[in-house]
Homo-oligomer: A and B are copies of this chain.
């Protein structure tokens, strides 16, 4: 990871974008209001998404066809006044490219044909070349950048090595992580070997996404919160820290955001990696998250996605609560605390977004004069 990376995209990436609010927040620059995007914003709650999804037939065809991935990435941008797009993909594309055979059983979530459980399985893994093995993601990013035409920035992402490894080991989602814990407490050297390989693949993958045109990057650590504090540091944060440092070296202008679900107690350590942004779920008040991270990072979050089942009055009340909890300042990106649910009414999503547009300016002082 120490080789110098010759980047085509390491300069400042903000000059050409018309809506700079999202990147301003990550770069600690004055803003006129709180930027907003939504985790899983291109998703099943949108009828136009369900239409394309049905046309594609299955999730992986949708994700691996650049024209379709681009189309669904743009859907929420066309419908709502959002401040960032995020490329439509999945955190498990990397292990799929490593040969595990990702598939989605209807109603059962992601599965792997070839789980990785033994030291021999792990030794046999190859590091994918993003521009060949994951070319469909890079093509989707290039196409989406072209279609966005610099209206809003495009976010690229990957899963955290720990989170990805749990799926690789279990072969699917899990409740008790039996095989993962067996490896962790039975052969931690093998687990570190796996995590090193996934971290290397993730760094290559994020660098390639930046080269393809991603203007910000995010690492989703969905399952870091199931660990002891020590195991979180050893098996999850350590590898996210490597990713942050590798990207800072190769692409210093591309801000990286880390998000550990249920990681409220570890926010100071997450911020200590030097990442630009930290995602926060709804189990901690932003007031406390901000105190714990001492304004060193930009906080992204953290409305309970369940609020969107409520009335408009309730949504407004809860949006205001999130804005007030963060308080005055420019290092806040409004988001849900986790992905939007499938059965949410898009009208409520629009109302939430418009409410952030309406109520957030009073928490800011500057006007970037964006569109």
Chain B minimum-CB-distance residue to A338: B176
* Contact surface of A with B, Cβ cutoff 8 Å: 176-178, 180-182, 184-186, 225-232, 262, 264-265, 282-285, 288, 304-307, 309-311, 314, 318, 321, 341, 343
Known: A181-B309, A186-B314, A264-B265. 11 other contacts (CB 8 A): A176-B305, A177-B306, A178-B309, A184-B306, A225-B283, A227-B282, A227-B283, A228-B283, A228-B285, A228-B304, A230-B321
Of A185, A231, A282, A321, chain B has the most CB atoms within 10 Å of the CB of: A185
Cβ–Cβ < 8 Å partners of A304 in chain B: 181, 185, 228, 231
Residue among B181, B230, B262, B288 making CB contact with A262, cutoff 8 Å: B262
Whole-angstrom CA separation of A307 from B249 in the bound complex: 37
CA A231 – CA B284 in complex, angstroms? Answer: 11
Q: Indicate if the CB atoms of A306 and B341 lie closer than 8 Å.
A: no
- The 7 A-B pairs at the shortest CB distance, nearest first, are namely A181-B306, A185-B310, A182-B309, A228-B282, A185-B309, A185-B314, A185-B307
- So how many copies of this chain end up in the complex? 2
* Closest chain B CB from A355 CB (angstroms): 15
Known: A304-B231, A307-B185. A176 touches B282 (CB 8 A): no
Residue of B nearest to A229 (CB): B285
Which residues of chain B are near A262, meaning CB under 8 Å? Answer: 225, 262, 283
- Give the distance in Å from the alpha carbon of A271 to the alpha carbon of B364 in the complex: 38
Residues of B within 8 A of A311 (CB): 185-186
Residues from chain B with a CB closer than 8 A to the CB of A232 are: 283
Bound CA–CA A341/B174 (angstroms) = 13
How far is B196's CA from A113's CA once the two chains are assembled, in angstroms?
47
Q: 15 interchain pairs (CB within 8 A)?
A: A178-B306, A181-B304, A181-B305, A182-B306, A184-B306, A185-B306, A185-B310, A186-B314, A226-B283, A227-B283, A228-B285, A229-B285, A229-B288, A231-B304, A264-B265
Q: How near does chain B come to A223, taking the closest CB pair, in angstroms?
A: 12
Q: Which residue of B lies closest to A317 (CB)?
A: B185
With CB as the reference atom, state the residue of chain B lying closest to A232.
B283
> With a CB–CB cut-off of 8 A, which chain B residues contact A264?
265
Residues of B within 8 A of A185 (CB): 304, 306-307, 309-311, 314, 318
**Chain B residues whose CB sits within 8 angstroms of the CB of A343 once the complex forms:** 178
Which residues of B sit under 8 angstroms from A181, Cβ to Cβ?
304-307, 309
**What separation, in Å, do the CA atoms of A200 and B235 have in the docked complex?**
44
Across the two chains, which residue of chain B brings its CB closest to A282? B228
- CA A309 to CA B169, docked complex, whole Å: 15
In the bound complex, residues from chain B placing their C-beta under 8 Å from that of A284 are: 229, 265
A305 to B226, CA, bound (A): 11
A228-B304, A231-B304, A262-B225 known; A186 vs B309 contact (CB < 8 Å): yes
Residues of B within 8 A of A226 (CB): 283
Cβ contacts under 8 Å, A177 to chain B: 306
CA distance A288 to B230 in the complex (A): 13
A15 to B177 alpha-carbon distance, docked (Å): 43
Q: How far is the CB of A112 from chain B (nearest CB, A)?
A: 20
Compute how far the CA of A184 lies from the CA of B307 in the bound complex, rounded to whole angstroms. 8
> Residues of B contacting A282 with CB < 8 Å?
227-228
- Which chain B residues lie closer than 8 Å to A341 at the CB level? 176, 178
Q: Determine the distance from Cα of A50 to Cα of B285 in the docked complex, in whole angstroms.
A: 44
